[in-house]
Chain A
Amino acid sequence: MRANVLLFPGCLVAYRFPEYESAATVLLKRLGYRVSLPPYALCCGAMLEGASADWVNYAAANLAMAGGLGANIVTLCGGCTNTLRRAQHLLAAEPAVRDTVARRLGQARLSLDGSVAVRHLLEVLHERADDLATMATRPLAFKAAPVYPCQVFRPGGVMQFDHPLRPRELTELISLTGCSPVAYPQEHECCGASFYMTDEALALAMGKNRIESMRRAGAAAAVTACGNCHLLLDRLQSRFAAKPFPVLFFPQLIALSLGHSPAELGLKSLAARRLIHNAGL
């Protein structure tokens, strides 16, 4: 892993979840990485893919900007990870597409760089789990349910990270904080957040189902690793849950166990503050 990382916020995190990006930055810096922003904030291409073949131009521009900085890309959402990795795959497999894209980027003085690695923050932190465990001086002691960002793991042949159907990394990262990971029936299912753009009722029904399932399994909080999952389960939660259920981004949970303050990590919601109070922090 290169020491230079371009932390890719993506549209949703840039717009709604600076606390996720901030907690990720805190951890990457504690692990010794030099963290930079993309020169330009640009969609990864995910939203464009269903509408047009030019999605790959956006993905490639992001890859080229990282290459220009000599950095690897670290992503925060499942969709961005998936799109950038598949774009790399497509550009490597299809010379005609690569040539067209390279010519286009050349007009903006950007060049494709095949050496840029794209990794979700989960992958980076899991690789450094031993270091994080050493730094975790404030063990947490509540039960936490993982919400896996499915697009990070599938299609398995392209993503090549963890198990495509039953990943474990988030559960293992929750363990290093002192929290007990909670298994529940939907643990390895999609959260349904993408439906929010196409079938809102379906998304909200799935969010309700998942929160209720995590509660029944004894979890005191949910732990997310994607802005979309977090949007549905946290920001839209009041539309389907009678009682607030705390939802934390996984770097917030880890940074808490490393001694960072809830205020610094943006843990402001009533449910999160109550969780932290009950945990004696």
Chain B
Amino acid sequence: MPDCNDCGVCHKVCPAYRYGPPSGGPQANPWVCANCWLCQEVCPRKIEVRQRLIAAQRRRTPPAAVAAGLAAIAATGLAMPAGADINDRRADYGLEPLSFAPASLLKLLGRQGAT
């Protein structure tokens, strides 16, 4: 596994550093990430930069908006406060209604590690 030699290319392309405050960006908080994968794409040493960021995210408490999304997924399977209104809006566009996953499936999918 190659290691970083601080060439700085990943920082140069990162939108958080290009458009955000110099003190910010994923180094200050790994959740401040555009999910654009540019850092990993341009790394001359082929380091999986974005994968490393994901590992760093797991060591931190997620931001409130992400935490709300996670709670919604656990409750309904979707990262939004999904209710019957979704299918009302779909009907307006001639779309079939969505079925929500049963609680037993969500419980199964939300478990980590070996069965």
Contacts and interface: CB of A to CB of B under 8 A. Distances in A.
B3 interface: no
Contacts of B50: 155
A9 B65 contact: no
Interface centre among B24, B36, B96 (most CB of A within 10 A): B36
Contact of B58 (A37, A51, A150, A151): A51
Nearest to B19: A206
Given A154-B40, A155-B41, A40 B105 contact: yes
Interface of B: 15-16, 19-20, 24, 29-38, 40-42, 50, 54, 57-58, 62-63, 65-66, 69-70, 73, 77-82, 86, 89-90, 92-96, 98-102, 104-105, 108-115
Contacts of A107: 108, 115
A54 B41 contact: no
Nearest to A18: B93
A93 interface: no
A18 B73 contact: no
Interface centre among B19, B24, B35, B54 (most CB of A within 10 A): B35
A46 B79 CA distance: 10
Nearest to B60: A50
Given A18-B93, A21-B95, A53-B113, 7 more contacts: A14-B78, A41-B78, A47-B66, A52-B112, A155-B40, A164-B41, A197-B66
A53 B112 contact: yes
B70 A108 contact: no
A70 interface: no
Contacts of A41: 77-78, 82, 98-101
Given A58-B109, A107-B108, A194-B33, A209 B19 contact: yes
Contact of A37 (B33, B78, B98): B98
A34 to B, nearest CB: 13
A18 B100 contact: no
A61 B99 CA distance: 15
Contacts of A196: 65
Interface centre among A57, A107, A198 (most CB of B within 10 A): A198
Contacts of B90: 14, 18, 21
A50 B58 contact: yes
B32 A40 contact: no
Interface string A187-208: 0011010111111001001100
Interface string A77-91: 001001000000000
A155 B35 CA distance: 11
Contacts of A79: 35
A51 B57 contact: yes
Nearest to B21: A202
A103 B16 CA distance: 40
A218 interface: no
A132 B82 CA distance: 34
Interface string A114-150: 0000000000000000000000000000000000001
Contacts of A209: 19
Contacts of B110: 54, 57
Contacts of B63: 197-198
Contacts of A202: 16, 19-20, 24, 32
B39 to A, nearest CB: 10
Interface string A2-29: 0000000101101110110110010000
Contacts of B86: 14-15
Contacts of B69: 11, 47, 197
B20 A12 contact: no
B34 A22 contact: no
